[in-house]
Structures are given as C-alpha cells and as structure tokens.
Amino acid sequence: MNTTNQKLSQAQQEIVRYMGGKPVLVAAGAGSGKTRTVIEKIIYLIQKGYSPHRILAITFTNKAANEMKTRLGARVSVPLFKFKWVRTFHSACLLILKDHLDFLKYSYIQVFDESKKDALLKEIVCDVFKLDKKYIGFVSGLISEAKNSGNPKQTFSRKIVPVGETRAYEIYNTYNAALRKRNAVDFDDLLMLTRDLLAQDEKVREQYRQLFQFIFVDEWQDSNTVQADIIRLLEMNGNVMLVGDDWQSIYGFRGSNIKNFIEFDKLFADGIVFKLEQNYRSASEIVNLSNKLIQNNRFRTDKVCFSDIPGGLISFKIYGDERSEAAEVVNQIRKLFSDKTRLSEIAVLYRASFLSLNFEKSLRSAGIPYQIVGGKGFFERKEILDLLAYLTLFVYPKDDEAFLRVLSVPRRGIGPKTIEKIRQSDREETLMTAARNAVAEKKVKGAVFKELSNLFQILDSVDAVKDAGTVLTEIIKKIRYEEYLNDYCKGDKDELLQRTGNVYELVNTAKGQGLSSFLEDIALFTDKEAEDNEDKISLMTVHKSKGTEFKAVFMVGCEDGLFPHYRMMDEGLEEERRLFYVGMTRAKIYLHISCAGFRFYEPKRPSRFLHDIVSKEKAKTA
C-alpha cells in the first residue's frame, strides 16, 4: 500500500481496500473527503493490476472529470489519455453510441445542442402542428423530462399538457423522427439510447461488462432513472462503487431521482453500504447544527456526521428590511477583513439571484471588491437590460442601442435587413426617429408597419413623468414581458423563477425614483474600472455554491417564501431543506444566517428552517 493511503482515515481505508465482490454505496457526509477516497481507490486498483483504460469513472461535470484525470496522472505516472473512461455520463454514452451506429441505423451521429433543438422544435410546433410559438419552451422541457424518466409515454400520460396529451405525444414522436432523419440525437437521447442499446443487445452489453473492470459514479445522489438503469446493466460481479451524499441532493428540478440513493438495496439487492461521516472542513458547531436541520427530513440515509475541529462561530439575525440586512452584513464583512480574513475566504449565499442587488450596492459603497460566481451582476442580466432599454428611450431617445434591444424584445419579426433599410431611409436621424418617420410616411408595410405602430403606441401611452417603478410596471404589462420570459426560459421553471425575481427586485428598487436619476444611478453603479485584485468576496446562489468552501459564510434572505421557495413548500420542502443544509456546510468556521422583517415593503416571516435549528430563546434574542 502506498504511503498516501496510510494518511486516510480508517473509514476511508476500508473503502479503498474493500474487494468483496459486492456493489458498494458510499454515503459520504459534507467535507468527508469522498473525491479523495475515490481517487485513492482507483490508484489502489491500478496497483493491484487493473488497467487505467478499463476503469469507468463517471463525474457530473467535465471540469470534475479533468481534475480527476490530472490528479490520477500525477499520482501513478500514467499518461492522461490512458484514463479514457474518466468522463461524464453523457460523454461516455456518446463514445458507446459512436461505436454502435448500426443500432441507431445512422451513418454518423450529430449531437444537437439546445439552439439546434429549439430550432427544430419551432419548425415542428409552429409549422407542422400549427401551434403558437409560446408552447415551444413547454414542449422542450416536457420532452427532456420524458426522456430522462426512462418511460416517455408514461410521462406524457400523467402530465397536464396545455396542448393536449395526445397531441403532445405526437409532437414528441414527430420530433424524434426528425432527429433520426438528420442522423442526430439531442443531449437526453445520449442516455436513453445507450440504456436501450445495452438492454436490447446482449452481445453489446456483455462487451462493455467485460471491458469495464471497475465502475465508479460520483455525485450519485444527482443521478436520474436512466443513469441508474445504465449502471445496473453494466454491473458484473459487484464491480460498482456509487459515491455521494443524499443530504445534498438538490437537483430534483433537473430530473435527478434521490430514490437511486435511498433505495440502493432495490437497485442492488446484495449491495453493501459504507459511510464517511467525519467532516474535515467545518467546525463541530457548524456540523452539529447542520445535522439538527437535516434530521427533520424523513427521506434520508442515517448518518452521524461529526467534526474534530473546534471554534465554530454561528449567529442569527433578523434585520428590519433588505437594505439594512445588506448594510449590516457588509459591516460584519469589514470586521472579518480587518481581523486578517481574506476576502476570498468569505461568501454571501442566497436562494434567488435577485437578492444580490442590495449586497452589490453595499459592497461597492464600502469599496469592497466582489464577484458574482456562476452568474452576472444584477444590472448585467438579460431581463434587467431588456427593461432598462425601454426606460432609456424615455430619457435618451437618441440611444440607438437601446432602441435596437427594444425592437427585439419581445420578438417582432423585424430583422437586420429591415432595420438597415429604415436606417438608410433617414440617415441624418437617430434610428428611433427614422423608424417613426418610416411609419408616418408609410415607407414600411405589412407586418413591419403593424409591429412598429404597436410599439410606438405603447411608448407614447406611458406617462414617463411617473416614478420609475410605476413606469416599469406599465411597460411589463403592456409588452406582456412575463409571457415573453416564460417562452424565453423554454420550460426551465428554476430559470423562470430567478429571472422573474430579478424583475420584481428591479421594480422594487425603482419605486419612488425619477427616471433620469434612476438611470444615472445605474450608470454610475455599472461604470466600474477593471480590477486586477483577485481577493474578492464571492456572491452566489446556494445551488452554485455546491462543491465550494469558505472560512466565513453569510446565508441571507432566509425567509419563508424565499427559502424555502414558495413553490417548493409542499412536495419540494425536503429538497429545499437539503439546499439549506448545503449552504450551511460551505462554512468552515463562521456561519451567519439572516432574514429581513420586511422585503418589497411587505412583512416577512423567518424561514421555517430556522425553527428547525434555533431554540425559542435564541429566536427571541435574534
């Protein structure tokens, strides 16, 4: 055994050395070193004579796969290309399908990305079935859900579909036929078709069973039904190790099935479960409090997570409103920074991205550099730019860039060629003035004339003297922006919630301000100089924080309706609690949880999750 293995804990060493010929589930707590354990297990197998190119190690991101290859290559002095099967599920499935094109009856295979998929669906939904384009996003999401379920017909039969169950299933079949005609598959097909190939062709199934001497899957709690089918079909003589933490299963909205983890014994009746319960990241106070939270979930594995790290600091606070919450959190960040804590060791976590705005403002006012992780700054987000373009035209009618954006949101069918003709028709005028003149002089006709006329009617009907919040509310209603956003998000409910929340926060921020001053404030806010300083606070959603760790974590906006989200109060409540758990366990030493008594000028109640972990005495003090 190599010397590094000797540094592993006893629980980790038992997993690494286990060669009992039974499928293994590793139920690993947060910060328990599960990835390191997987890497050591692979090294152990290679030392035992296993071939690197015959080990299938599945990760859920390309970044994780590349990091694993790099760490393995450095440890065993094997060229990275030898680890051919260290890759994501979709990537591994594509390799398999490319070697069996005869099963697909394809001469080659092309993977359609989301843009190609949407273009094809638009053709089918609008041109073939003569339906409104607003159904494209819904149908796209339904097709993805159906394929990831492993039983598409059943999915369609149990869903309430606005275009009708029968017609929706016809669209599904027509879409798949169009893919086959083009020698194409979409992202979800990669999994389902591989599952079908392995299930239907015994020779191919046996080929890959013989090829893979050992199979690992990381983040097993995030697997879906089809992925579980694939692993079950590939397993031979117990050569499977599934690793993850069901307490951190937070992607149910993407189709993950936590039952794959909880009901491991149904997947592999003779399987064995190992547990990694020691947390090497967080102080014991934080681990104990996180345990207390997750115990309220009924659907979970039993673990007793613990830490030997002392000195954790935990605080709770109810602030007056969202602005005072942001200001006070930034004050605490200042104190931490003055106590020699690096900014890069501090994170502000929130359930919904629109909550970042007040913290961005407070951090900028304090001169503290920050970064939005996995997203854009509030005023850089698409929906914010869309609506600000309308406001801009009331104050700065010569802003051609703003008018170009308004022409395209919502879609009006006015393309670049038409816009250039309008521009050429009156070169001495701004684009909006040229367009108004083109309508007045009837230089444009048909649909373009109608769309431009409607747009100018909307703009002229808005009373721009009113405060910016009122003007925004009018614009959103008159251009039916929420309907446009629903279509834009293509059935992704989580994205729609985030973008809609951003819109509400923009309206809330604009209330009581004049248009000019509001736009000037935004211009000053966004006109920041490039910063080379990499020591920055991290702002991110809790979903984005998974896999990260920080010395100090501020969980903000912890109010009922926000966290847990109001749409997840019933069936999704346990997943919301797991998400809260993920946020708490990002913290190493310092954890501050806060909420606002008022948000959007309305009274709010502290998150019910705080009642799970805070005693009545502490709640009164907070």
By annotation, the residues acting in catalysis are: 34-35, 218-219, 248, 586
Spatial distance between the Cα atoms of 572 and 541, rounded to a whole number of angstroms: 18
Give helix 135-149 / helix 165-181 axis angle, nearest 10°: 80
Q: What angle do CA 130, 132, 134 make, to 5 degrees?
A: 145
Q: What angle do CA 551, 555, 559 make, to 5 degrees?
A: 165
Query: H or E segment at 314?
Result: strand 313-321
The H-assigned helical ranges of 89-201 are 89-98, 101-104, 114-122, 135-149, 152-157, 165-181, 187-200
Contact 76, 53 (CB under 8 A): no
DSSP state string for 292-304: HHHTT-SSS----
Q: What are phi and psi of 410, to 5 degrees?
A: -70, 170
- Nearest CA to 382 among 359, 354, 363? 354
Query: H or E segment at 537?
Result: strand 537-541
Phi-psi region of 55 (alpha: psi -120 to 50; beta: other; left: phi over 0): beta
Spatial distance between the Cα atoms of 423 and 434, rounded to a whole number of angstroms: 6
Three-class DSSP category at 320: strand
Q: What are phi and psi of 282, to 5 degrees?
A: -100, 150
Q: How far, rounded to the nearest angstrom, does the alpha carbon of residue 198 sit from its chain's CA centroid?
A: 30
The H-assigned helical ranges of 354-467 are 356-365, 382-395, 400-408, 416-425, 431-440, 446-461
Give helix 225-234 / helix 202-211 axis angle, nearest 10°: 80
- The two tokens of residue 18 are 């286990």
Spatial distance between the Cα atoms of 432 and 404, rounded to a whole number of angstroms: 9
Spatial distance between the Cα atoms of 188 and 198, rounded to a whole number of angstroms: 16
Contact 582, 618 (CB under 8 A): no
Spatial distance between the Cα atoms of 174 and 167, rounded to a whole number of angstroms: 10
Instruction: Please measure the distance between the N-terminal and C-terminal CA atoms of the chain and give it in whole angstroms.
Output: 52
Contact 610, 558 (CB under 8 A): yes
Spatial distance between the Cα atoms of 43 and 23, rounded to a whole number of angstroms: 19
- The two tokens of residue 354 are 């629109």
Q: What angle do CA 188, 191, 197 make, to 5 degrees?
A: 130
Burial class (CB in 10 A: 0-12, 13-18, 19+), 402: buried
Spatial distance between the Cα atoms of 221 and 36, rounded to a whole number of angstroms: 18
Q: Rg (Cα) of the chain, in Å, rounded?
A: 27
Three-class DSSP category at 26: strand
User: How many Cβ atoms are within 10 Å of 387's Cβ, its own excluded?
Assistant: 24
